[in-house]
Structure 1
Amino acid sequence: MLEDAEPPLPRNVWYPIASARHVRKRPRTVQRLGRSVVLWRNGAGELVAHDALCPHRGADLGLGIVIAGELSCPYHGFRFGTDGECTAMPCEPEGKPSRRDLSIRRYEVREHRGLVWLWHGDVAADLPPLPWFEELPETDRHAWDHETVWPLPQLRVMEGMLDMHHVPFAHGRYLRGIGTWLDPYEVKVEGDTVRTFGTLRRHGDGPKRGFRARIDARLPGLLLLRFGARLWAFVACTPVSREATWIFARYFVEVPVVGKLLAALSLGTEFALVQPDDRRMLLSTSPRTPDVRDHKLVRADLGIAQWHKLFSRAVGDKRRDKPATSPASSGTEP
């Protein structure tokens, strides 16, 4: 476990940590939540997750193999069952019982909608349901995925995702004709979710014109985005460490026959052209770890301000839930 890299995290929540299709016959180690986690499948094909470092000499168990439904270390062949107990030490006489201090920590994981979800919190008999946005299409038939890692703290990435009024400036060369005026703009907080609705339009445009968007942010770092009538997006922003974030994006285009192709083209364009601009802008911001007290927020930043407040309460940091300047809750046309 990378203790010095573990970021402040909301507890007792499910985190998406990997694409399930990448966890097949061979184990796979991912860096998430400041830890090294090995994902593998037992003899029945069921998903299993443990700390990735072998307790014997610290080798990465993700480089090992699965033998008879057990995880085998690549360095000395020590084997571990799904419960994390060491079941075999090849260097010792056959039949020698395993030592308790050679067990590895096991994590609760689930598979849902093609993602691996890890429980970060207290052990309980009844865990809460996996978080999801019910508004999303019921299947992934017309969807396409993309994932990447940005060298940025999760909070900074979430700020970028919730920022509507940067679009005509940071992305103006690709998205021409979008106005700079964010009006109307509404922000609502419902439980663990910040819901935002906005329209970017030019001065003089009527209320029915402009670029409309909906962006919802849910703890611990999930986003629902809606652009236009047919394009939906789900985005997960999960900390790798204090200084990096894993981003998983899925686009849905609900069009018969060609929906998946359109989703792939839209998502590919997004991460080839648009998102590099966001990444560059976010990397330029200071301080590296965001703190709303360091900035002078305006009305168009209300969604960001509310996310900081919600996140700070979830991690128990009440000092950071108020910006230096409190943005107005709404704006109207003069």
Structure 2
Amino acid sequence: MEKAKLAHFFRLSIYSTIYLIICISSYACERCGDEECILLFANHTEENRARCNIGYVDGLEKYVVKGQVNITDKNVLAVGLENVAAKQFGIPSYFCLIRFVKGCNGNKTDLCYCVATDQRNVFNIVFNMTLTYQYRNAQARAVMLLSDRQEIFSNDIKLPNVTQLDLTNVSYVLNINGKKVNTEKCLKSVPGSTLDISYDVATSQNLRTELRITSDNKTDLWRDTKEGSFPLPALSVEAASDVYFTFNLCGFSEKKVLCTFIKGEHYGRNGPTIEILFASLALFILSVIILLATLIFFYKVKTKRKRFQDIIMVSDEINSARPLIEVNTIHTQTDSL
């Protein structure tokens, strides 16, 4: 008896599920005349190309979803792009929402907008969204929100996979004229107005690297080049030249290095750097100070010794003159007697 009841329960569950699927499918694919009321297109747009060699990056790239709606005989309030999984849990989660007020009044400057077509009451819809790791490979669909609180759904599309960018272990190497430079403080003396540059960036994800070099009004972008030359037309003996080296990882700026170059006529490519010149100058000044201090010390010692000798000589003269004074005093007393 219980087996029969259990079998009957399973049959009812199966029939209910099939009926629900049919109803949802027919409602989601409701047609307006000869066309579906709302439809999303597959991703074939050039603007959805990932800029990074590892794919779409979390929170840094835009993704465009396009579709079409037919609002014939429909009192549409808005059309949105929603997360299917969240909706199944009863949580409305719209990536973007397009308001319809007496038809399409979209503005292309908005993130999401609608555009009129040649057909009456038929509009193209455009959703611009930022891809996040949270919604990687998520199912999305467009939904038409009606004034009577009903909803009409489009077909589902799958959002692309999204990768998190790992910038915890990144090392930069910048060589100028065959010498590695300090990326935190770069000041160099160069013999000519052309720089020989090479660089390397090591990352844990083997990210594609670009180098943007900017000086005055000149900018070079190295995409697949690891070494080359860069001119410094404004460099002279009187004026220094500033050059910005901007390292980009997958097209996103990550590190900027400022180098100041001074023209040095007497130094070759492998000659001393400006840091060595400053160190040599500091050592020379220190040597001069030590020499002056030594001379002053010996001068003071010599002066003190001379004063001491003068005091001794004066003391000796006084002592030698004292007997004469005493004799003269005795004679004077005798004469007075």
Query: What range is the shorter-chain TM-score in?
Result: under 0.3
Higher helix fraction (1 or 2): 2
> TM-score if structure 2 supplies the norm length?
0.21
Higher relative contact order structure (alpha carbons within 8 Å, sequence separation ≥ 6): 1
> TM-score if structure 1 supplies the norm length?
0.21
